[in-house]
Structure 1
Amino acid sequence: MLKQATALAAVLSPLVILAAVVPASSSDSNVDLSDKYIITLKSSADMAAHIDHVQALQEAQTAQDSAVTFTGVKHQYNISDYQAYSGHFHPSVMAQLHSHADIDLIEPDTLMRAAAVVTQSDASSSLTLISHRGLSQDHKGYPYDSTAGQNMYAYVIDTGVDVGHKDFEGRAYNAHMVDKKAGFEDKAAHGTAVAGIIGSKTFGVAKKVKILSVKAMEEPTGPLSDTMAGFDWAVKDIIAHKRRQRSVINISLTGEHSASFNRAVGAAFRQGVTTVAAAGNDGKEVKESSPGSAPEAITVASTNLHRVRAKESNFGAGITIFAPGEEILSTAPGGESKPVSGTSMAAAHVTGIAVYVAGVKRFADPRSLKNIIVKLATPKVVGDVKGSPNLFAYNNGGSTVGLLTGEIPRPPRVIGGGQLP
């Protein structure tokens, strides 16, 4: 029914940030990532034996030099043929690991950072944009399937979600937190906004989806290794509950290129798990960021409400699709609503479309789902794409026509859009 409504030398790697547009911070984070690394093993390595060996090296070094405490292995990642770990290691231990036969890649752990979610007083609804091909003033409201997202799951790896917000109607759950000492509260207000665009009653694309909050950060700052731990947990939970065809992971976090994170996204893809990633807000080529540069991700760039690329949005051939990301009204902690901006919000729109489409028809694998989202998109309406595919996200007008068969009608030629107001 339709309703209207890389190398050790890279220690100085740039920071990873939330993919919402945030004001620059004048103070540095208190999180110390000195001597902390993400280490990827060869697929042929015996991970358990290797971890035992590393811990033994660490303990031996600690016995010799107890002046500084090195905690050793903190997280382990194991998705399909991707296996890695992260932790805090003595320099002498790292010197031995750097030439170890088991190791394929060593990267420094980096820092996630966000000052605050931007608020703007003139926010408008973006749902009309993704449910109509053109920008005509005659297009009113948001046509959508009233069952959109039903029996589907969106895993939101972020700063937490205010699951008690009335607009989630009891469909949001605290599923996991990486730091067991932290509570589930969304202090940064970022994850709640992302979840609201995916599936809240008022602001959501898929208004029946279940939201599973995977909290990777307690404050607006936190290590990349923790976000990877949240991702690893989500993939395993999806597989354990046999939800491959009924789940989508949303990562509205972004940072400098990380081969480790990209490989994890690729491994999840091969296991049948779909990942939607924000492109990032650096105004640069998306190939320089992660996880948006992972070829297997559905990578989303941002536009304003006139379908012109947001000036902060990353761009390039690695983009999959554009979606609204400026002046978007969504849920906020405490039962509130606030306007937000950034590729975080663009990614959330596409995650909502993905769970809607996958709920209509169970696609065989993430590639098939990605292809149908691309096929549905409205072409050649985005301005200033800077080498990105000129595709704008579309929910099929709320119709199931073509979704069951995969025979999507060719989009009509659209006049308007992509123009500065």
Structure 2
Amino acid sequence: MATGLMGDQVFLDLRVTYVIYPKDGTDMSQTAIIEEKVTAHAVPATVYTSRTETVGINFWLAVLSHASADILAVELAHEISSIYPQLAKDSYNPRYDTIRQATCIDFQDTPEPPDSTIDHLVFVCQEKGKLLQEYKGRYYYDNADPVLGRDIPVYIVDTGATLAHKDFDRIRNQVEWIHVGQDIGGGNANDDSGTDPNPDPNLRYDLGKAHGTGMLSLVTGAQMGVSKGVKPYLVRVPRRAVPSDTNGQFGQPTNEDWLEGISKVNDHLAGKSKETRAILLLAIHIPRSMFMRDGIDKSDGFAARMRFLLKDLVSKGVLPVTGTGNNTQTGTVIDGFPANYGRKDYDPIPEILVVGGVHSTVFALCSQTDFDHGLPHIFAPGAGVKCADGNCAAAITVGLAAYFLRLAQIGHLKIDKSPLGLKNYIISNGLKWSRADHKGRELPAIWNGVRLPEPSPS
């Protein structure tokens, strides 16, 4: 039952936005019952149904009194998984061949003068036993296809991107936009929803964090990207507020926006596939604690629906990649979404790849870990990356996954091309190797498999 500190009746009559999750969003008879009941109790104009084209209903939003929500929780006990107030704040390991070294190994230099460093790319190509300094700021890669990750579909559920940036010159015209909801004030924009759409250069305030822009650049930016020519699908969550010097808000989307964004990918991809045909970047970590209401965990509906959507995507040939969260002060337990689906004790989705972060040059741990439950599966640069704050490690690993998948598609890399096969290749003992941090902890991290060419005799 909903409770509050104000007078009981006043509290029960208070109307707020509730989230209602069905037990099975694909069961039309079940969802029809829920819809009828919710509509009867809610302010009709406030009812929003997150209805997909192919995978049923995600959830409903509705303005309800706390008393009505309590009634619905009883009347729909057999149909709904969760109802709560919305708050505005395993595994086959095959033997793989490594990349054939018969083709020329090419490299990308740090620009001179350097307007952006590529330490994270040097990390990606760093061979075990070699020092970063031996690379002289160069990113080495196998150019069997000189356009790394060429045409590999990558879905990025994030805040969109500011495509005018020069790092996107190569892929700007290849981007396709998929929008979630509507921006504050209505409509959508092909921009980064974490920023102010009309910044005043005369005002000194934080314009918000262009998270999606940073993630896209690490996947496939001309200078910053591990891959260089993927096919990007930007699933943009809406701008919920405009950053300003007065309200200090950053257009933060709701948890339901992120879930609906994933379902947009389910709708966009038709048919099943045993081979990987797309990669999904979820550079987010939503702690379970965000679903606590009056000391009760209300995450069941959200967690079950996200699991369903991700399993459906895997069946369609999608490799989902996510991070562990950036807060290293939360102890040694990871309990959030979507990382939980990679936990050994959480009925895991075997295909999901959960990536932790280390500093790109000093290898210091910079993300949450939960080694007792098998997380993360691997590490990648998550700090010392100039272009972005956020789950950089997941984005960098998505770029690497696209690079490997393209080499496999052209027959240059002999691996199991299923989502599980691609994940297992990335985290295989023949590829990953441990960088030790200042505390001596072994942190197994990504490598692109390219061996540093021997210097030419003088």
**Within 2, Cα distance between the matches of 1:34 and 1:199?**
42
- AA of the residue aligned to 2:167: D
Mapped contact 1:112–1:255 kept (Cα < 8 A): no
- Indicate the percent of aligned positions where both proteins have the same amino acid: 19
Contact 1:161/1:174 (CA < 8 Å) preserved in 2?
no
Which moved further from structure 2: 85-94 or 140-149? 85-94
Distance in 2 (alpha carbons) for counterparts of 1:318 and 1:326: 18
Whether the 8 Å CA contact 2:47–2:61 is kept in 1: the answer is yes
Q: 1 CA distance for matches of 2:34 and 2:396? A: 43
Structure 2 equivalent of residue 54 of structure 1:
34
**Does 2:49 align with 1:74?**
yes
Q: How far 1:364 moved relative to its partner?
A: 4.2
Q: Distance in 2 between matches of 1:289 and 1:159?
A: 20
Secondary structure of the structure 2 residue equivalent to 1:293: helix
- Cα distance in 2 for partners of 1:98, 1:287 equals 32
Change (3 A) 1:131 1:108: farther
- Give the aligned residue type for 1:147: V
Three-state SS of the structure 1 residue aligned to 2:253 is: strand
Contact 1:37 1:88 in 2 (8 A): yes
More off after superposition, 189-198 vs 305-314: 305-314
For 2:121 and 2:322, locate their aligned partners in 1 and report how far apart those are by CA, in whole Å.
19
Aligned residues: 345
Matched, 1:156 2:166: no
Cα drift, residue 319 of structure 1 = 0.9
> What is the match of residue 123 of structure 2?
129
Over aligned residues, Cα RMSD in angstroms?
3.5
Distance 1:10 1:84 in 2: 26
Larger radius of gyration: 2
Alignment of 1:244-255 (within 5 A): 245-255=276-286
**Which residue pairs with 2:355 in the alignment?**
300
Structure 2 CA distance for partners of 1:211 and 1:392, relative to 1, 3 Å: same
Does the Cα contact within 8 Å between 1:254 and 1:280 map onto a contact in 2?
A: yes
Alpha carbons 1:377, 1:393 under 8 Å: kept: yes
User: Displacement, 1:167?
Assistant: 2.1
Rate the CA distance shift 1:106–1:125 in 2: closer, same or farther, 3 A.
same
* Worse-matched range after superposition: 270-279 or 350-359: 270-279
Q: 1:142 aligns with which of 139, 142, 149?
A: 139
Alignment-derived partner of residue 37 in structure 1: 19
Partner amino acid, structure 2, of 1:288: D
Q: CA deviation at 1:48?
A: 2.6
Q: d(CA) in 2 for partners of 1:385 and 1:87?
A: 47
- Taking the aligned partners of 2:74 and 2:440, their CA distance within structure 1 comes to 39
CA contact under 8 A between 1:41 and 1:84: conserved in structure 2?
no
* Whole-angstrom CA distance in 2 between matches of 1:303 and 1:136: 15
Looking at structure 2, the residues matched to 112 and 367 of structure 1 have their Cα atoms a distance apart, in angstroms, of 36
Output the amino acid matched with 2:36: A
Pair 136,124 (structure 1): closer, same or farther in 2 beyond 3 Å? closer
**Aligned with 2:60 (options 76, 86, 90):** 86
Whether the 8 Å CA contact 2:149–2:402 is kept in 1: the answer is yes
| CA 1:59–1:104: 2 relative to 1, 3 Å | closer
**Cα distance change on mapping 1:236 and 1:160 into 2, 3 Å:** same
Using the alignment, how far apart are the partners of 2:88 and 2:358 within structure 1? 24
Counterpart of 1:96 in structure 2 is 72
Deviation at 1:164, TM superposition (A): 3.6
- Cα distance per residue 1:21-49 (max 9 Å; x no partner): xxxxxxxxxxxx9442251424xx76333
The one of 317, 330, 341 aligned to 2:389: 341
Q: Give the drift of 1:208.
A: 1.3
Q: Residue 124 of structure 1: CA displacement?
A: 5.4
